[in-house]
Structure 1
Amino acid sequence: MEFDAEEQVYYYPCPCGDRFCIDLEELYDGEDIASCPSCSLTIRVIFDEEDLPKLKEDAE
């Protein structure tokens, strides 16, 4: 999977031509299903929480 550090989102190519996506925060919350915004396909993400990048703090 490709990680966008700015958006804190993982992406993976979908057979339909779009990309599956899942937020880093969702992974930390135990969610492991990435969905494609253009079709009905989903994938399960297999990961070790200790290997995830740190969450960025929102500067508000």
Structure 2
Amino acid sequence: MADEEVNLYDEVEIEDCFYDETLQIYHHPCPCGDRFEISIYDMRDGEDIARCPSCSLMIRIIFDPVCCARPHMSEAKTNTRQSDLPPENDDAPKSVAIAA
């Protein structure tokens, strides 16, 4: 999203967020008492806006997306740059669409 389209409450470094390894989300306290949330999968897709599910506030998460995408096998051996994001966990629960 372009900055003019989003009214952000704040910008927060990823180091100041909490990571829930089970849910694969980063979260940060919201002034309303709930918390801002963003999934690791959204961040790997380039999303940097965390939303609070209880109010309309949003924050931008500042992080280095280097190596967020899955590297090709040949690149994996030579790639030494680090990302701010944790490694992918293939055992983590994924989103599932349920049709009624």
TM-score (norm 1): 0.92
**2:28 counterpart of 1:12:** yes
User: In the aligned structure 2, how far is the partner of 1:29 from the partner of 1:47?
Assistant: 13
Distance in 1 (CA, whole Å) between partners of 2:60 and 2:84 is 17
CA–CA distance in structure 2, aligned partners of residues 3 and 20 of structure 1: 12
Give the 4+ runs in structure 1 shifted more than 3 A. none
Instruction: Identify the range of structure 1 (7-16 vs 47-56) with the bigger mean alpha-carbon deviation.
Output: 47-56
In angstroms, what is the RMSD of aligned CA positions?
A: 1.2
Q: Is the 8 A contact 1:8 1:55 kept in 2?
A: no
Identity of aligned residues (%): 58
Q: For 1:45, what is the secondary structure of its paired residue?
A: strand
Q: Which protein is bigger by CA-based radius of gyration?
A: 2
Give the count of matched residue pairs.
59
Structure 2: runs of 5+ lacking an equivalent: 1-16, 66-82, 93-100
CA positional deviation for 1:51: 1.7
Q: Deviations over 1:1-22 (max 9, x none)?
A: 0000111100100000000000
Q: Matched residues in 2 for 1:55 and 1:20: separation?
A: 21
Say yes or no: does 1:41 pair with 2:54: no
Specify which structure has the higher proportion of strand. Answer: 1
